[in-house]
Amino acid sequence: MDATRIPPADDGTPTHRDGPAAARRPRVMVLFGGRSGEHAISCATAGGVLRAIDRERYDVVAVGITRAGQWVLADDDPDHWAIRDGRLPQVEDTSTHVLLPQGTADREVQVLRDGRLESPLEAVDVVFPLLHGPFGEDGTVQGLLELADVRYVGSGVLASAVGMDKHMMKLVLAGSGLRIGPFRVLPAGRTVDAQTVDTVVAELGLPLFVKPARAGSSLGISRVEDPADLPAAVAEAREHDPKVIIEAAIVGREIECGVLGGRAGSPPRASLPGEIVVTDARHAFYDFEAKYLDEAGVTLACPAELAPDVVARVQDVAVRAFEAVGCEGLARVDVFVREDGEVVVNEINTMPGFTPYSMYPRMWEVSGLGYDELVDELVSLALERPLGLR
């Protein structure tokens, strides 16, 4: 079968016209790629999900978003999307154009091929937006799906936007009584003169972490030890986002915790925590290379070796952060555990890395929920949630 063609629903499977979603196999749109710097990582994640998703239970449609923002029918063969030998996958324009419904009356997704309407047109019950970074993880795509009245996996518009912006995220977390580290924000366009450098260093000390406010995968992040390097670090961060955040370095173990939304009104669930251990001194921190290209340079210890009371505290902080931001479905909460045992939140990711080798699925695996079951659980959570304001 041409993998970029929507499989026809002529196998006796009832379609949406025959009744509610429960009466037939739910159709899941796996959505990936996108306009952000994390395009390739999103493709790799989609590969993992396309491999794991139970095609007996769900009809799967793979839709890629090109770097230019075009929604296209994509190859649903998982192998196409793997990161291999350092080669990063990307969504190519397949001369198709996927259009969401524009009202609440139906859930039909239209496909144009070379500008002409292609049939059959099928309904989508749930979108799995495996998008990282701006224009995907930040509430923009979520907003589009809300307008189309289509259910989707993960957080809604506000939580996604808050989770994306490291500045807003810190305000919300701190406002909910969670511990965060000291930081300063450089708004878009603000220049970094000698006085700014002096003030920042006097306030936050050295080293500093300079970050784009809205990015991920460590893109554009620098660890600055010499104040003279601060302007260049800000310029680098601004290649990803005009708004920049500067943080004091936190000394502590890098611990992450997976959170899953609760079923049917029950509270969110926290996984066993994992630990990031950067073992190769060439990486000054958990940078892009260490995350995706240099598997030997970093160890994901899963579960993390932590005393039971620390595990309980990390899990408590993770669930509180999830609820503070108003997340739905899933999130990964990353913290530093300081030597004195204090848990300082670094960030919350509303669409964490999700390949089978990523920390989020691995933390669930050691907590008793395998990758396939996790994918199934996320789709089920999305299917059970109401449409509209919730």
Which residues in this chain contact ligand ADP in the complex, by CB under 6 A?
181, 209, 211, 215-218, 221, 247, 249-250, 254, 285-286, 334, 346-347
Judged by CB, which is closer to ligand ADP: 181, or 326? 181
Sheet holding 183-186, edge to edge: 183-186, 244-248, 208-212, 222-224
Q: What radius of gyration do the chain's Cα atoms show? A: 21
Sheet holding 108-113, edge to edge: 96-99, 108-113, 116-123
Closest CA to 181 of 377, 336, 320, 22: 336
Judged by CB, which is closer to ligand ADP: 64, or 353? 353
Shortest separation between residue 276's beta carbon and ligand ADP, angstroms: 6
Whole-angstrom distance, CA of residue 35 vs CA of residue 24:
33
Whole-angstrom distance, CA of residue 244 vs CA of residue 165:
10
Whether omega before 207 lies within 30 degrees of 0, making that bond cis, reads: yes
Q: Which residue is nearest to ligand ADP (CB)?
A: 286
Judged by CB, which is closer to ligand ADP: 42, or 96? 42
Judged by CB, which is closer to ligand ADP: 52, or 224? 224
Shortest separation between residue 255's beta carbon and ligand ADP, angstroms: 11
Shortest separation between residue 233's beta carbon and ligand ADP, angstroms: 13
Shortest separation between residue 212's beta carbon and ligand ADP, angstroms: 8
Judged by CB, which is closer to ligand ADP: 8, or 205? 205
Shortest separation between residue 126's beta carbon and ligand ADP, angstroms: 26
User: What is the three-class DSSP state of 235?
Assistant: helix
Shortest separation between residue 216's beta carbon and ligand ADP, angstroms: 4
DSSP state of 81: G
Judged by CB, which is closer to ligand ADP: 7, or 134? 134
Burial of 389 (0-12, 13-18, 19+ CB in 10 A): exposed
DSSP state of 182: -
Judged by CB, which is closer to ligand ADP: 81, or 209? 209
Strand residue runs (E) in 92-158: 96-99, 108-113, 116-123, 126-130, 151-152
Whole-angstrom distance, CA of residue 300 vs CA of residue 276:
5
Shortest separation between residue 251's beta carbon and ligand ADP, angstroms: 7
Whole-angstrom distance, CA of residue 28 vs CA of residue 151:
10
